[in-house]
Structure 1
Amino acid sequence: MQPTLPARRRHDIDALRALAFGLLILYHLGMYYVAGWPWHLKSPHEAEWLRWPMQFVNIWRMDLVFLVSGIAFGFLSKGGTPPWRLVGQRAWRLLLPLVFGMYVVVSYQAYAQAVDNGAVAPGFLAFMQRYLARGPWPRGAFDGSDFGITWMHLWYLPYLFVYSAALALLLPWLRGSAGLRLSTAFHSLRGWKLLLLPALPLLLYALLLAPRFPATHDLLHDGYLHPLYITVFVYGYLMGTNAGLWAELARLRHVSLAVALALVGLFFALRAMQMDVPWLLRALRTLYLWSALAAILGLAHRHLNRPWPWLDWANESVYPWYMLHQTLIIAGAVLLAPYQLGPQLEPAMLLAFTVGGCWLLTDGLIRRVRWLRPLFGLKPAARPAQQQRKPAGPVPVYLGSGE
């Protein structure tokens, strides 16, 4: 029997979840400015130097989000909830915000991109009448316009639902003898095995699938990203609260960080020297991905596993902030563009507009209005008596859990 961590709140996972989605805001802000990378809108102040830090983060940022989501799914499935009920809960917490987000939250993104492309005339109300009717649109009017409506950055929600539903339906097998052997084998990884063996399936996907299936985020045609993301999601589920594995990740945190920095340094050096050896670059990229994840998990477990005063607020704010932030970035970019603030002041003002807008809408409106809460993935507000009766214990952290 593998030891588990004590039954208490996993502050490190809570903090990682909040920080990962905070990084997402900065990353999408960077997409507006990074030179040569297509996005919904692009700034006249594009910067070549941004490619390096953006790629440094891009290689593992969404894998970290799916891995943390897998850890949290493991917490959610511990209570003996039947698989079919887990699927229903995930549908309510993920698909309801997705539908609301597609029709309401991201519609302005589609409008701004379509106007910028010259595909529609200015006038948001006229655009919304057409958008709610799902077009038709000129080809390439906005990302997803071929389907009449788009989910833009909310693609993570249907992906997470599919992975959660699949894993929920596999729970009887995972809780059986074969699943327990798999968990035991994963929990027993130590030293170099922990830094290499989980990377091998990811390396196989990178070498065999990535050249054939470019990223699409359209759910049905993502032949490389689906195996990648669902594998790290399952890794998160397998990690759970196993004390030995988490202690090993913490022990190896400096080694895994050094390995990750060496790999990404070599990757960037080869790119800078224009040494185009696709298989080698993909291999370095994938090995960096896993070593970076191992370093992040180990560092978080060592340094973040404490009751930070901001965690309760962050846990309830992260889902609405995730849904709102990209629309606010694009709205702020359109608002600020006529003032020609320059390449230093404009990004600072745009970040302030995005963060301020997320905070104002979430704390001032969404968290206070009962019927808005489920539309942004939050549970109904607990009454004071319910809060007093709430038992202590491990709290799952999961985009859509509302914890």
Structure 2
Amino acid sequence: MPRRHDIDALRALAFALLILYHCAMLYVADWDWHLKSTHLSEALQLPMLAVNRWRMDLIFLISGLSVHFLLRGGQLGRFVAQRSWRLLLPLSFGCLVVVPIQPYAQGVANGLVEPGFVDFLLRYYRFQPWPEGAFDGWQYGFTWNHLWYLAYLWVYTVVFAALLPLFRHRAGRALHARLVALRGPALWILPALPLALATCLLQPLFEETGDLIHDWYRHAIYFTVFAYGYWLGNDAGLWAELARLRRRSLALALALLAVYLALVIVLPEQIPDALQYAVWTLRNLYLWCAIVAILGWARACLDRPFAWLPWANEAVYPWYVLHQSLTVLIAYWILPLRFGPVLEPAIVVAGTVAGCWLLHAGIRRVAWLRPCFGLKAGPRQAAGAAAQAAQAAQAA
């Protein structure tokens, strides 16, 4: 089956947006983050909010799509083992080697960690609690910060593998057939309803803390869109419908966003429960319509072998692992220098991109580093492994 270039391109673009989003977190007013610039903008809140409502949902849906393609004709046990290796090794390596600069910079900025990165690491690797509020995750002694996605994705992958017999059962296949048969307004509305229901039932009970054990609201949302991605798969009819509806989906998403942002602006923080449920339902309708529009436009415009796509496919994983630590490190260095509201963010973005580019260029050439950043064996390593396998087969 031909490779779906649109999905590859969409994955790369989704993570590129994530990098820009995290850079912007330095500057959006009233939103907590690891470090904050003195050049804060309230106007930045609205575009950030518009993106925030679907950015991670889109990434988890693309992850579900990837599972669909990886499972075709493969053994389930081997799939789980390979995915565990490609998720848990970068997560462990990233938490120990890449992420620590973030809690260090945050702790120093908060005045609760003494300057001196080596001394910090010696204390950090004891995995004991830090002074309250030193950095995100101070209670546990360490943090995975932006790498939480890898932990969540691994859990969803294992749970999905355990539930796969149900998905492949008669009832699961019937539900799948109903989903891929959705057309027109039903495609905009029906998949959003489980998301809205989960929000109304669970968001009042569980804060979005990034705590894997207690994050049941986000689990319900992200696992649902992960399953949608698997079910969406490569169904030609549904993808054709997504492309056909792309203009109307975009218009509807923008209309829903306008109403939602207007309500966010005019409504007080405390509102009646019935009104709150209506706002949450509207938010989830916007979330899903935005994803439908993105998928439709990607199918119509991105399904071609762009020259940059092979490089981007490889770069996505290491850039994701590296980017936030680079952003925080650069900000830690330059925020005290007061470069101004234009030059400072330009340095942060350019430095993050340049750092990811240079480090990825080095990582891809070091055999033992490649799996630590989610990369498969390079051509030389793959050829060597194939030769060893052939020799072993001949000896047997």
Letter of the 1:39 partner, please give it.
W
Aligned to 2:89: 96
Letter of the 1:77 partner, please give it.
L
Distance apart, 1:89 and its partner CA: 1.2
Q: More displaced, 228-237 or 160-169?
A: 160-169
Q: Deviations over 1:267-306 (max 9, x none)?
A: 1112222355422221211110000000000010001111
TM-score (norm 1): 0.92
Residues 40 and 142 in structure 1, CA contact (< 8 A), matched pair in contact too:
yes
2:35 is equivalent to residue 41 of structure 1: yes
Distance apart, 1:209 and its partner CA: 1.1
Q: Deviations over 1:379-400 (max 9, x none)?
A: 110239959x9xxxxxxxxxxx
- SS of the residue corresponding to residue 16 of structure 2 reads helix
2:371 is equivalent to residue 374 of structure 1: yes
d(CA) in 1 for partners of 2:218 and 2:206? 8
d(CA) in 2 for partners of 1:192 and 1:14? 27
d(CA) in 1 for partners of 2:311 and 2:69? 20
- What is the number of residues matched between the two proteins? 380
Aligned to 2:248: 255
- SS of the residue corresponding to residue 145 of structure 1 reads coil
Q: More displaced, 164-173 or 194-203?
A: 164-173
Q: Deviations over 1:46-87 (max 9, x none)?
A: 111100110010000000000000001000111231x22222
2:48 is equivalent to residue 50 of structure 1: no
Distance apart, 1:338 and its partner CA: 2.9
Aligned to 1:70: 64
- SS of the residue corresponding to residue 180 of structure 1 reads helix
TM-score (norm 2): 0.93
- Cα 1:286–1:385 shift into 2, 3 Å: closer
In the TM superposition, structure 1's runs of 4+ consecutive aligned residues that sit over 4 Å from their partners are: 384-387
Report the identity percentage.
57
d(CA) in 2 for partners of 1:307 and 1:341? 41
Aligned to 2:390: none
Q: Deviations over 1:2-36 (max 9, x none)?
A: xxxxx111011000100000000110011111000
Aligned to 2:11: 17
Question: RMSD of the alignment, in Å?
Answer: 1.5
d(CA) in 1 for partners of 2:381 and 2:141? 44
Q: Deviations over 1:307-332 (max 9, x none)?
A: 11111000000000000000000111
Partner of residue 354 from structure 1, selected from 352, 355, 364: 352
d(CA) in 1 for partners of 2:31 and 2:160? 34
Aligned to 1:164: 157
d(CA) in 2 for partners of 1:348 and 1:245? 41
Q: Deviations over 1:251-273 (max 9, x none)?
A: 11111111111111001112222
Letter of the 2:126 partner, please give it.
A
Aligned to 2:391: none
Aligned to 1:147: 140
d(CA) in 1 for partners of 2:89 and 2:334? 32
Partner of residue 190 from structure 1, selected from 178, 183, 190: 183
Residues 84 and 169 in structure 1, CA contact (< 8 A), matched pair in contact too:
no
Residues 316 and 378 in structure 1, CA contact (< 8 A), matched pair in contact too:
yes
Residues 90 and 165 in structure 1, CA contact (< 8 A), matched pair in contact too:
no
- SS of the residue corresponding to residue 25 of structure 2 reads helix
Structure 1, unaligned stretches of length 5 or more? 1-6, 390-403
Aligned to 1:319: 317
- SS of the residue corresponding to residue 201 of structure 1 reads helix
Aligned to 1:395: none
Letter of the 1:382 partner, please give it.
P
Structure 2, unaligned stretches of length 5 or more? 387-396
